[in-house]
Chain A
């Protein structure tokens, strides 16, 4: 068989499509090997405050800690298995809409909807009946749960941490005096 230019092009395009598909698939890496940057350090997470910091200048960069498993499809799937097996579904419902526990799919978060805030709620537990999972689940499993909860669509992106605390919504106007206040 003679190898024509047409044949070569066909082979090349096919291989190209296959490879790009594979690239999309492995974005984020495997869910069961630790991410290249490792998991966020425990002491960094601990410094993320529940309330705002007293005094004008406070270091809240801890709130911008991102989920290393964000949008990782294997992590989301494993987070879903954990959500069911750890009985999260029993309080928060299989579709996340809540029952005994609050709705995790809406945009209201009593203790904050940033990835690190959701992580802390799971790890520490909360006073009105949310158990503390920090002893039972290692950070890897908790971040997978956070990834699954983020996939519901109601959480806040880590980089928007200031806006989340201050009740801002996309598309809003900002009064000029407020803009002027920013450091």
Chain B
């Protein structure tokens, strides 16, 4: 019968969404943090599926010897695994062909320790990028470095900023062809935000687009065609600020970039404005908390959309933009899905910047609605902070409804899967002055659970209808990236140390494993030299998930200590070591 055949094939795509998986890296390898240009984080490997995932066991582990939050995903290229640590940003190459996965080489870049005290949210590193036989990644002290993948020798190093001023770099570079895109961090330090393109071969900077300032500095020209009226005008990156304040207005670019090869556009978001006290900077504060589409070659902006105008709560716009085509109101649209810090899930036309869907994906009370005509959220005046006045119960808190931890999408279900939060805050703003190398911040925050009591949640989202399909509530924060596979599985981790495999269609948790420390990294999957499918995840809690006693008030101290172990799982825990044919010892 047809129905049974459908069910048996499991091919029910609920939304009609389709994806472009360019650049089409080998299925058994993982070359880029986001897997592909569209940022799907989806793997076609299906050896591990809903029927056998409960047999997943630890195959091997690797401790990298550093402190701090482990946010990066390991890459696998040519039977070598590349693992980058948080500060001091050490890069390990592990030989997967040998028993025990020994270290092939270690690269120690020696970044300046000053960065440790300038990184707002732990001295993390969100991953390396692979291109053209090189591994390219950012150091905390504002240098981008390229390392030879075979030998571990440094090929080039480019100084992109000055750590003494308070800016750092934590994001994973993004490669398209012969260019690599990098951006800075420092939205709490009054940095001047930017994204830059470097030449992959030489490391030379090709162009840099700032997030505030004149149109020339922001690389806005005649091709700029934003959809909404409030983004049309000259030098809005200056005029939407009090005199001079755009210089330290932040808008840093510290998370993800995606790319559409047909439109030749890159997509990324900018951080909150600085200082974090809105009354000190009236105006819309463009181009902070903004999603940009730029020409991938020249960096000239094509469109921009500001998700939170005059952001008052530290709602950065940096979260990933997953590119997909899907039917909206009967028509097929080239779109992107973006879960913003402000708790709204956006489906946006990626050719024009028009918002097609905007709906809250978690509890929020800062906004009473979204105006489709103007593209502006309606702010609830009760939730506007003013200096020296305690504002209670603002939801979500500065961490947002979802932070940088990236979502994944599945072409089999047509759904998008994300780790999100269920949090609120009490907030008091204090006026601040800008003193270079110190925070330009002013928010005094106490965070706690929103109604429901759970701090975290893992959900499946329908981008066509703008609705949650299913969710798994978690006691502790869920701040890990997501992996989706063709085995109809999605994987995520919790900040108290559980790594889970979930049925992508039903949301049933099929497998869980407690690991050494909390998980805030990104899982990946690959085929070993034995052609077996493995799943890899780093454990080591930190980052902004370390919100500590104030968030765990009343609960026993189940919040784990830090750690630095990479876990690799397989069915039965089998691996090269158990297969004597491939063992070289």
Contacts and interface: CB of A to CB of B under 8 A. Distances in A.
Contacts of A128: 113-114, 116-117
Interface string A116-134: 0000000000111111000
B432 A90 contact: yes
Interface stretch (A15-23, A48-56, A81-89): A81-89
A100 interface: yes
A86 B435 CA distance: 7
A99 B428 CA distance: 17
B433 A85 contact: yes
Say what secondary structure dominates the interface of chain A.
loop
Interface stretch (B21-29, B197-205, B264-272, B439-447): B439-447
Looking at B116, B428, B437, B438, the one whose CB has the most chain A CB atoms below 10 A away is: B438
Contacts of A88: 438
A91 interface: yes
A127 B435 CA distance: 18
Interface in B82-133: 113-121
B162 to A, nearest CB: 13
Nearest to A136: B435
A145 to B, nearest CB: 13
B47 interface: no
Contact of A131 (B120, B437, B442, B444): B437
Given A91-B438, A100-B119, A129 B430 contact: no
A85 B430 CA distance: 9
Nearest to A87: B438
A154 interface: no
A86 B440 CA distance: 10
Interface string A29-48: 00000000000000000000
Say what secondary structure dominates the interface of chain B.
loop
Given A86-B435, A94-B430, A100 B444 contact: no
Contact of A127 (B114, B437, B444, B548): B114
B481 to A, nearest CB: 23
A45 B83 CA distance: 45
Contacts of B548: 97
A100 B114 contact: no
Given A100-B119, A100-B439, A131-B437, A89 B113 contact: no
B188 interface: yes
Contacts of B442: 90
Given A90-B432, A128-B113, A129-B113, A100 B437 contact: no
B218 to A, nearest CB: 27
A129 B411 CA distance: 45
B433 A90 contact: no
Contacts of B117: 91, 100-101, 126, 128-130
Contacts of A89: 430, 444
A86 B434 CA distance: 9
B118 A129 contact: yes
Q: Would you list the 5 A-B pairs with minimal beta carbon distance, nearest first?
A: A129-B117, A90-B439, A87-B438, A128-B116, A94-B444
6 contacts: A87-B438, A90-B439, A100-B119, A128-B116, A129-B113, A136-B435
Interface of B: 113-121, 188, 428, 430, 432-433, 435, 437-442, 444, 548
